[in-house]
Amino acid sequence: MLQVQTLPAWLAGMLWTFRWCFTEPSYRTFTALLAGMVAQPGRRTVCGMLTGAGLSRLWHHSRAHWFFSHARWSTEQVGLVLVGLIVAGLLPGDVPVLVAVDDTLMRRSGRKVAGAAWQHDGARKGPKGSQVSWGTCFVVAGIVVVLPFLDRPVCLPVLARLWRPKGTSKAVLACQMVAAIARRLPGRQVHVVADAHYAGADGAPTRRGLDGRGLPAGVSLTSRLRRNAVLHAIATPIPGRGGRPRRIGARLGAPADLARTGRWQRHTVHRYGRTDPVLITETVCLWYGTYRSRAVRVVLIREPGATAKSRDDLALITTDLHSPATQIVSRYAARWAIEVAFQDARQITGVGEARNRTPTAVARTVPFGLITQSVVVLWYTHHGHTPEVTQDRRTQAPWYRTKTQPAYLDMTVKLRRTLITARFLGAQQRNPTPEETLAVHLAWAEAAA
């Protein structure tokens, strides 16, 4: 069975950091279910986590369900402790913290699931307008890091909140989570990247978006600019004229108008694991409909060699007025890491497979699964990575001829095998018997399936 006493030393030490977030019984349940979610190769329902931990014959399943539905603990407190672990272990003191924000739908069934409704499902394939599914939507904030053995950024989810139709807007939920992360990291520079939906909203208090009015000082936001955004120049004050100086200048138009009048320059940017030449033009202006009189930068990116018919410039807007334009482009490209994290969460970690229905349980199981996913990556980075991991994967699947870096699946399999070994051998200081060795090898083979 997988409890604190039988967990690998480094994993047990990392989980001990979360001890103050729980009571003593809840902490034991937390560690067991987290390890069971990783060790379980099948469905990661609440009972599946208990089975993966090897405790299904020792604990009644109500103990696991009680942990999510009634126990006294906060997913936000656990997530903020995880923020400290990530920043301390993966980001040096002078590196800004990059936070990616997005929302994702977890498909559910049943009419009595708290927070479930028919909503847009970006992961559903089909023509535009048909991407609708019944489920619960979560707004997620994750820290984007670059691991030493990967050439692409990785997003580690830390906070997630359930969004309810006709409730608090997604932009406001995201703003609250980013503010909590910034308070957890006093003195650190924080940059936020998000898609166009989070660029901002109107000035109504219930729909205030991710702009300077909702984020702490020192936090910038970079997002995609809507095509129909109306931009204006910043007016030049007229000396000697009384009254409040005019702020809004001449109308610049939409991003397409800026593309026709802008001065394009050739740059080299690093994005998506490669270095590409691009054409960039930028303008400091006002988007009064969203940011009111606050100055923002609009950065337009064009691929070299694009013709007039195939040209589709990427328009970015950022509140960061000082970083180089190439850094803004690379920063926004790193936002794709949260989409990869969502895919891994559904297909590998098993986030969203829990079948609970009460409001508290529904609001906790998805953040719990996302935190488990980040813990797996942290464990692998500090303790699990070896060059043989990729080679073993290529040996088992020789068609991966160009595979040189581990994927999240490799990280999960490595930790799963370590947990299985700990489950069979425990803390006993002796050589395993042949029967135990055979059982471990059989379990390893099942874990890699």
Average pLDDT by consecutive 10-residue portion of the chain (449 residues)?
A: 68 92 95 92 90 89 95 96 95 91 93 90 76 93 94 95 91 93 93 89 39 70 92 84 80 92 92 90 91 91 74 89 94 96 95 94 97 96 84 78 86 87 60 52 54
Strands 219-224 and 190-194: parallel
Are the CB atoms for 159 and 168 separated by under 8 Å? no
Query: What are the DSSP E strand ranges found in 24-152?
Result: 97-107, 117-120, 132-146
Q: What pTM was estimated for this model as a whole? A: 0.89
Of 23, 13, 80, 68, whose CA–CA distance to 44 is shortest? 68
**Residues near 407 by beta carbon (within 8 Å), at least 6 away in sequence:** none
Residues of the chain by 3-state class (helix, strand, coil), percent to 5: 40, 20, 40
Measured distance CA(236)–CA(247) in Å, rounded: 8
Q: What is the pLDDT of residue 426?
A: 58
Q: What is the pLDDT of residue 200?
A: 63
Backbone dihedral region for residue 200 (phi beyond 0: left; psi -120 to 50: alpha; all else: beta): left
Containing H/E element for 298?
strand 295-302
CA angle 29, 379, 87 (to 5 degrees): 100
**Residues near 187 by beta carbon (within 8 Å), at least 6 away in sequence:** none
* Residue 310: other Cβ atoms inside 10 A: 8
Of 446, 194, 220, 434, whose CA–CA distance to 318 is shortest? 220
Containing H/E element for 190?
strand 190-194
Burial class (CB in 10 A: 0-12, 13-18, 19+), 2: buried
Q: Tell me the backbone φ, ψ of residue 18, rounded to 5 degrees.
A: -85, 5
Name the 3-class secondary structure at 40: coil
Of 140, 188, 27, whose CA–CA distance to 370 is shortest? 140
Distances (CA, A) of 185 to 93, 96, 129, 368: 11, 10, 41, 22
CA angle 173, 176, 177 (to 5 degrees): 90
Tokens of 144: 């984007």
Name the 3-class secondary structure at 401: coil
Are the CB atoms for 84 and 184 separated by under 8 Å? yes
- The amino acid at 97: V
**Residues near 275 by beta carbon (within 8 Å), at least 6 away in sequence:** 268, 269
Tokens of 124: 């559903």
Q: What is the pLDDT of residue 429?
A: 45
* Residue 225: other Cβ atoms inside 10 A: 23
Q: What is the pLDDT of residue 425?
A: 62
Q: Tell me the backbone φ, ψ of residue 364, rounded to 5 degrees.
A: -105, -30
With b for 16 or more beta-carbon neighbours within 10 A and e for fewer, the 146-167 pattern comes to: ebeeeebbbbbbbbbbbbbeee
